[in-house]
Amino acid sequence: MTTNADLLEIPQSEQTVFNGLLIHVNHMQVTLPNGQSAMREIVSHNGGAAIVPVDADENLYMVRQHRIAVDEMTLEIPAGKLEYRGADFRDAAIRELEEETGLRAEHVELLTSAFPTPGYCNEILGIYLATGLSQHEDHPDADEFLHVEKLPLKEAVARVMTGEFRDAKTIIGILMAWYHLHGYETPSGK
Amino acid sequence: MTTNADLLEIPQSEQTVFNGLLIHVNHMQVTLPNGQSAMREIVSHNGGAAIVPVDADENLYMVRQHRIAVDEMTLEIPAGKLEYRGADFRDAAIRELEEETGLRAEHVELLTSAFPTPGYCNEILGIYLATGLSQHEDHPDADEFLHVEKLPLKEAVARVMTGEFRDAKTIIGILMAWYHLHGYETPSGK
């Protein structure tokens, strides 16, 4: 951090300007590295967890949903919000997997803990890989409507690369799962 | 869409409940597929553009910044917000590249157009690959303080996989750029 002291913004005061159902918004007055003041609009969110369920034949389970914020029927990896800020990401990932798909996993590994929009929001998203899957009953939330779809992980990678899968956590989960399972060396060794 | 009609949420009414500097929040009343009503809190954001600048030796240029929303010094690909919703993503990516790093690119290709948080926000982020780089003067915004750092793209992939690089657009940009440049077949052909 010593070499980056000239990047540091120092908070001076903070005020909550919106309390919503899902998010809160604060206006934070900061001192910039040059001594001037600026205002940062910061969104507060509980965070979430997502999970990449891959079976023994390397099929991926995804959920199709209507995402009204972007007005699309997206195909995403199973995911959900934390019940409160500070809740356990791994527990949430396992819970969402079973709620949305009915799958349980023998092995759940962290792929990464990502910031979806660090420029203005404190949201953290834990993204996990689930293997050793077994099928049980699903039980989505009362206001959640979704279809589970199964496809080869390799096909999912291809559909990321064509730009078809556009949800950030889904892109991250699929590509990191592929690298994790297969490595990222190419035949040329480059 | 016919097979997904049972997933469709129909908007009934919408009300703006917060107008901020960067975001707006709407409360949208929707009719769920089962006929019941629910309220969706939707954040409106202009969207943004990000760019993965890779030179002829396959070095990646990144910017280190203090992201006060997540209280971290992050290393991210160059990026910025659109000036208005509907502005051109490619123009914004090229502008941010030059502002933040002083680089110009002969070739700028779309990697993907991602939704960082489609569960509650309409933000779209255009993520580009820039090659054929030449160095010019940088000129960051008055309230923007950053350091440019150069590292091999391959090292950047490794630092994504260890979980060190946590910014979603950066993870997506780096992994998609690697796949784009090297393919994702492994030596075994799996």
pLDDT by residue (tens digit) across A26-56?
999 999 999 999 999 999 999 999 999 999 9
pLDDT by residue (tens digit) across A60-118?
999 999 999 999 999 999 999 999 999 999 999 999 999 999 999 999 999 999 999 99
Number of H-type helices and E-type strands within chain B: 3, 10
Q: Provide the pLDDT confidence category of residue B184 given band limits of 50, 70 and 90.
A: low
The answer to whether the CB of A32 falls within 8 A of the CB of B145 is yes
Amino acid at A80: G
pLDDT by residue (tens digit) across B9-35?
999 999 999 999 999 999 999 999 999
Q: Which of A4, A39, A121 sits opposite B73 (nearest CB)?
A: A4
Residues of A in contact with B123 (CB under 8 A): 117
Cβ contact, residue pair B6, A122, below 8 Å: no
Cβ contact, residue pair A69, B118, below 8 Å: yes
Residues of B in contact with A9 (CB under 8 A): 66, 68, 145
**pLDDT at A2 exceeding the cut of 70:** no
d(CA A97, CA B101): 41
Cβ contact, residue pair B120, A176, below 8 Å: no
Cα torsion angle, B87, B89, B95, B100, sign: positive
Neighbours of A41 (CB within 10 A): 17
pTM for the whole structure: 0.95
Residue-wise over A95-118: b if at least 16 C-beta within 10 A, else e?
A: bbbbbbbbbbbeebeebbebbbbb
Cβ contact, residue pair B65, A30, below 8 Å: no
ipTM of this model? 0.95
Q: Which of A112, A120, A122 sits opposite B22 (nearest CB)?
A: A120
Residues of B in contact with A116 (CB under 8 A): 116-117, 168
pLDDT by residue (tens digit) across B117-132?
999 999 999 999 999 9
Cβ contact, residue pair B9, A68, below 8 Å: yes
